[in-house]
Amino acid sequence: MSLVALLIDPLAHGFMQRGLVAALLVALVCATLSCFLVLRGWSLMGDAISHAVLPGIVVAHLLALPLTLGAFAAGLFTAWLTGRMAAASRIRPDAVMAILFSGMFALGLVLFLRVETDQHLLHILFGNMLGLEWNDVTEIALIAVPTTLIVLAKRRDLLLAGFDPAHARAIGLPVGRLDSLLLILLALAIVAAMKAVGVLLVVAMLIAPGAIAGLLSQRFDRMLPIAMGAAMFSSLAGTLLSFHADAATGPAIVVFQSMLVALAIVIRRRKARSGATA
């Protein structure tokens, strides 16, 4: 089989076309956000929000609301509660997040197994990339594309609020509102990624690209394209691999991303040894 056939053949199938478009969209939005999460030390927040959407999905199903809406609301609620709990108690934020996300996830599992839904638990946890319909892909696009564009448009303000909040305030930027905006965009990205890669694997997509970019560049404006490139390559490679090797798509993508992180570490060490600075 030629290399071209390796790439083209799978795309003859509608389910592969839909899966690939979804994978690329999810890669784009997660990679953009991951640069900020990694720099701000908010990786765990992505973990917390993604686990916390599960009870939101069940409750939305009970109330006959769109599942996406329930997931989004539950994610934001957890982010808000994390801030409140850390401020009101002497528990450190990482412990607060760990308690909250496992607690919300457990609540979600209890509710899920109690309530009859038409959803498959495995699909929520690990995604169902190759089982997506075009309306699912449209929904992902409607969330992922504007979210990415907002992050890119506000990237300098978001970066400044993380790098030097005192200066940001001194020039009149609304630092608190920028932090909230970042959390809202994070919750949106997780909701967009949910159907494709699932709430467990989205965490990797929200951390790995930013980590790769941070290892390879010392300039933020270069980190963004590196992160996007790495994430989209992983999505493409993972989706194709899953077709040819009959492997699970979401996990295959995450495996590729993890390999790229390892590769970036090796490249960084080589550079450091040769004395070059990026």
Partner 1 sequence: MKNRSSQGRTFSPGLVVSDLWVTYANGVTAVCGASFALRAGTITALVGVNGSGKSSLFKAIMGFLAPARGEVTLSGKPVREALKSGLVAYVPQAEEVDWTFPVLVEDVVMMGRYGRMNFMRIPRAADRAAVSAALERVGLAELRKRQIGELSGGQRKRVFLARALAQESEIILLDEPFTGVDVKTENAIIMLLRAMRDEGRLMLVSTHNLGSVPDFCDEVVLFNQTVLAQGPTATTFTEANLAEAFGGSLRHIRLGGGALHDDDDDRRVTVLTDDERPLVLYGPRDAETLVKRPPEEPR
Under the binding rule (CB under 8 A), the answer on residue 214 touching partner 1 is yes
Residue 217 near partner 1 by CB under 8 A? yes
**In contact, 151 and 224? CB cutoff 8 Å:** no
Say whether 90 sits in a helix, a strand or coil. Answer: coil
Is 88 a binder of partner 1 (CB under 8 A)?
A: no
Q: Can you tell me whether residue 242 is helix, strand or coil?
A: helix
Of 43, 121, 220, 261, the one binding partner 1 (CB under 8 A) is: 220
Site for partner 1 contains 140 (CB under 8 A): no
Kindly determine how many residues on this chain lie close enough to bind partner 1 according to the rule CB under 8 A.
22
Interface mask toward partner 1 for 1-40; x: CB under 8 A = --------------------------------------x-
Q: How far is the CB of 113 from partner 1 (least distance, A)?
A: 42
Q: Which CB atom, from 3 or from 171, has the smaller least distance to partner 1?
A: 171
Residue 61 and residue 67 in contact, taking contact as beta carbons nearer than 8 Å: yes
- Helix (H) / strand (E) element for 164: namely none
Q: Does 135 bind partner 1 (CB under 8 A)?
A: no
Cα dihedral sign, 221-227-233-235:
negative
Q: With CB under 8 A as the contact rule, which of the stretches 1-9, 95-103, 107-115, 215-223 interacts with partner 1?
A: 215-223
Tokens of 140: 């992902």
Q: In b/e form, how buried is each residue of 73-92, taking b as 16+ CB within 10 angstroms?
A: bbbbbbbebbeebbeeeeee
Among 1, 172, 245, 274, contact with partner 1 (rule: CB under 8 A): 172
SS3 label, residue 127: coil
Q: Would you count residue 244 as binding partner 1 (CB under 8 A)?
A: no
CB of 163 to partner 1, least distance (A): 5
Sign of CA dihedral 155, 127, 241, 144: negative
Footprint on this chain of partner 1 (rule: CB under 8 A): 39, 153, 156-157, 159-160, 163-164, 166-167, 169-173, 214, 217-220, 223, 277
